[in-house]
Structure formats: structure tokens, C-alpha cells
């Protein structure tokens, strides 16, 4: 149990001592950990920090602009945004296997990041938002003998960059990272966001990833999240975004028949997934109120042309996973 202003002061001193007058690069993903690391390091060394934000075209609606506004405009952090959607889509064309998709996204991410990092001449350090549970998890790797899914996060960037590692969150648990983020001035909503996988919508569009599918999914997902945030449960007085651990829409490349006005439609399906869990190793499907589900379904079908059917996933983990791929 530590006092936040003291903790920040200590961390700032430690970072300054560690890096001296060197420059630091950080891969910003828009997630909580890399965002808090960026805010903390920026507090310590200001313009010696450059963030690289790779937009792989598989982010949520408005996410790229949100990240740029928050860090660039509000916090005055140097951020280079790389719009690499075209490159990612190109390499993903024709690929349907989930693990193959993850590998491509991970590989392209490293390539794009390395290219940008190489342009920052005085950089000696690579900062990462590694937190304590990540340290434990990688220490335990190999003991389990296998990984069920390969997790390509922004972490694990290659040694070939020849940079020293700066990991100021290594000793913190997730809730401490969140508190730190708020104390550093990051918006509450961003710091308390649900986790989002590194490969992004790439694993929420089943089978081949296409830009058209990503655009439909982004809009459906944004409606779902908006309604979860706007619907308060009277018993707990929390909204359903807070009451769930992770919630999102999944794009199914399957067409089904519908009616619209006096016409027949033949469009795609979206599945909604919302789970409650402590550790993400096991999870229950969330018992969302039927009125909420009904409203989300109506809005998606009315507002997202190209989707004419919405289903709700009522599978627990195990046997289902949280993501569909």
C-alpha cells in the first residue's frame, strides 16, 4: 500500500537516473499498460520520449484519433502515428487460420515498429508497459509445456533493435497501474477499459479479414459498448460496462435472410460476447438484461447496413474461449 504522489516522485527520479540524457522509444497500443508507462516516462523525461503508435487497421471505432488526442494534444507527448492498415490487410488477404493470422499481425507489427524506431537516432532505450503479472507469466512459460493461443502483444519486441529495456511498471499489479494512470492525469474511462487483444479485430472477424468486415464490426461494436456504458443496473448502481470484464462484437462471415420494409435482405451476422471473470482463465457469460440486448440488436440492425441479424453468445469458458478465434 503506497502513497501515489510519493510513488510517482520516486519512479520519476529512478527513470531520470536510469536513462540520463538518452532518448527513449515506446510502442503505444492504446491499452492501459503502455499508456500508463508513456504518461509516467513522459512525466520524468518529457521530450526525450517518443512514442510509436502503429495503427494496424484493426482497432476499435475512433481509437486511433482518441490515442492521438489524449497523448499528443492533451499530454503533449511526442507520438508518431503509423497508419499501416493497408500493409496489414494486404498480408492478411486469403488467410483464414486464426494462429496464422496472429503470426502475420505480430510479424508485421514488429516490422513496422522497427522501421519507425530506426528513424529515432539518439534512442538507446525501448520502454515497455510490462507489469508484474507479465513478469510472472513469462517466468512460468515452458512449465505448462504449451500455449493454447499465441499471444502477440506489443511486448516481446525483438533484441535486434539493440536497445536497453525500460520497464517502469514491472513491480505493479493491474489495479496499481490503473491508480497510477489516474494520478498521472489519464482519463478514468481509458484507464478502466476492458482488455483488448493485440491482434485486435483480426481475431474478432472470423476467417479472412477484410477491410469491409472490419468497418462493419467497428460500428456494431461501438453501439454495443455505448449501450453497456449507458445502461445502469439498479441493484449495484454500476453500468453494464463496469459489470462485465470484457464485452465486444464478433463478425461472422455468414449471410442470413431478413426482411426490411417490403424487401428481403441477405446480410451478415454479428455475435455479441460479454463475460465476467476474475483472471480470464475461466469466465461466465454475462446475464445482460434482455431490454439491453434488444436495444443493441435493434440499433445494430437499423444503423449498420450490411448486418441483419444479431446473436448473443451464451458459452462459458471453458469450454469456449473468450475470443472466438
Q: Establish whether 31 is an annotated binding residue.
A: yes
State which residue, 50 or 64, has the beta carbon closest to ligand XMP.
Answer: 64
Contacts of the segment 217-221: beta carbons below 8 A, 24+ positions apart: 217/249, 217/250, 217/251, 217/270, 218/60, 218/61, 219/61, 219/300, 219/303, 219/304, 220/249, 220/251, 220/270, 220/300, 220/304, 220/307, 220/310, 221/60, 221/61, 221/248, 221/249
For ligand XMP, which residue of 197, 217, 243, 250 counts as binding (CB under 6 A)?
197
Q: How far apart are CA 150 and CA 148, in angstroms?
A: 7
Q: For residue 17, count other CB atoms closer than 10 A to its CB.
A: 9
Distance in Å, CB of 13 to ligand XMP, minimum: 32
Q: Is 149 in the site for ligand XMP (CB under 6 A)?
A: yes
Q: Among residues 206, 215, 196, which one has the least CA distance to residue 154?
A: 196
**Quick one: which of 86, 257, 280, 294 contacts ligand XMP (CB under 6 A)?**
280
- Least Å distance, CB 115 to ligand XMP, is 22
Quote the CA–CA distance of 191 and 311 in Å, as a whole number.
29
Residue 62-81 contact track with ligand XMP, rule CB under 6 A, x = bound:
--------------------
C-alpha cell at 323: 475470443
Contact call for residue 198 and ligand XMP (CB under 6 A): yes
Establish if 313 lies at the interface with ligand XMP (CB under 6 A): no
Count, residues near ligand XMP per rule CB under 6 A: 16
If binding is defined by CB under 6 A, does position 103 make contact with ligand XMP?
Answer: no
* Residue 56 binds to ligand XMP (criterion: CB under 6 A): no
Please identify, among the stretches 113-121, 146-154, 182-190, 304-312, the one whose residues bind ligand XMP according to the rule CB under 6 A.
146-154
Residue 218 or 309: which CB sits closer to ligand XMP?
Answer: 218
**Contact string 233-262 vs ligand XMP (x = CB under 6 A):** -------------x----------------
Distance CA 115, CA 44 (A): 26
273 binds ligand XMP (CB under 6 A): no
Residue 195 binds to ligand XMP (criterion: CB under 6 A):
yes
3-state secondary structure of 232: strand
Considering beta carbons, is residue 41 or 203 the nearer one to ligand XMP?
203
Name the grid cell of 85. 492498415
The closest alpha carbon to 236, from 276, 183, 295, 188, belongs to 276
Residue 199 in the binding site for ligand XMP (CB under 6 A):
yes
3-state helix, strand, coil in the chain (%, to 5): 40, 20, 35
Judged by CB under 6 A, does residue 151 bind ligand XMP? yes
Known binding site: residues?
Answer: 29-35
Residues of the shown chain interacting with ligand XMP in the complex, contacts defined by CB under 6 A? 102, 149, 151-153, 195, 197-199, 203, 246, 280, 317, 321-323
Known binding site for ATP: residues?
Answer: 29-35
Amino acid at each position: 500500500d503506497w502513497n501515489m504522489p510519493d510513488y510517482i516522485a520516486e519512479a520519476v527520479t529512478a527513470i531520470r537516473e536510469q536513462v540520463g540524457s538518452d532518448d527513449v522509444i515506446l510502442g503505444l497500443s492504446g491499452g492501459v499498460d503502455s499508456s500508463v508507462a508513456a504518461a509516467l516516462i513522459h512525466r520524468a523525461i518529457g521530450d526525450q520520449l517518443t512514442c510509436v503508435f502503429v495503427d494496424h487497421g484493426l482497432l476499435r471505432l475512433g481509437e486511433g484519433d482518441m490515442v492521438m488526442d489524449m497523448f499528443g494534444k492533451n499530454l503533449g507527448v511526442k507520438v508518431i502515428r503509423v497508419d499501416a492498415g493497408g500493409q496489414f490487410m494486404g498480408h492478411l488477404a486469403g488467410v483464414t487460420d486464426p494462429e496464422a493470422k496472429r503470426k502475420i499481425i505480430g510479424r508485421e507489427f514488429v516490422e513496422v515498429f522497427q522501421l519507425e524506431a530506426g528513424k529515432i537516432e539518439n534512442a538507446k532505450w525501448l520502454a515497455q508497459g510490462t507489469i508484474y503479472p507479465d513478469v510472472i507469466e513469462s517466468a512460468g512459460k515452458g512449465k505448462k509445456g504449451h500455449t493454447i493461443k499465441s499471444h502477440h502483444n506489443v511486448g516481446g519486441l525483438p533484441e535486434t533493435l539493440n536497445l536497453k529495456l525500460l520497464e517502469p511498471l514491472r513491480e505493479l499489479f493491474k489495479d496499481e497501474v490503473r491508480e497510477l494512470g489516474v494520478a498521472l492525469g489519464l482519463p478514468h474511462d481509458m484507464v478502466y477499459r476492458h482488455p483488448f487483444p493485440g491482434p485486435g479485430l483480426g481475431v474478432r472477424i472470423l476467417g479472412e479479414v477484410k477491410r469491409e468486415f472490419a468497418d462493419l464490426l467497428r460500428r456494431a461494436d461501438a453501439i454495443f459498448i455505448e449501450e453497456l456504458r449507458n445502461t445502469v443496473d439498479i441493484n449495484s448502481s454500476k453500468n453494464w460496462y463496469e459489470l462485465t470484464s470484457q464485452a465486444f462484437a464478433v463478425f461472422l462471415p455468414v449471410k442470413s435472410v431478413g426482411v426490411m420494409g417490403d424487401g428481403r435482405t441477405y446480410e451478415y451476422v454479428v455475435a455479441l460476447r460479454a463475460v465476467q471473470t476474475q483472471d480470464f482463465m475461466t469466465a461466465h457469460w454475462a446475464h445482460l438484461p434482455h431490454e439491453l440486448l434488444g436495444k443493441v440488436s435493434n440499433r445494430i440492425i437499423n444503423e449498420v447496413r450490411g448486418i441483419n441479424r444479431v446473436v448473443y453468445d451464451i458459452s462459458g469458458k471453458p469450454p469456449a474461449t473468450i475470443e472466438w478465434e
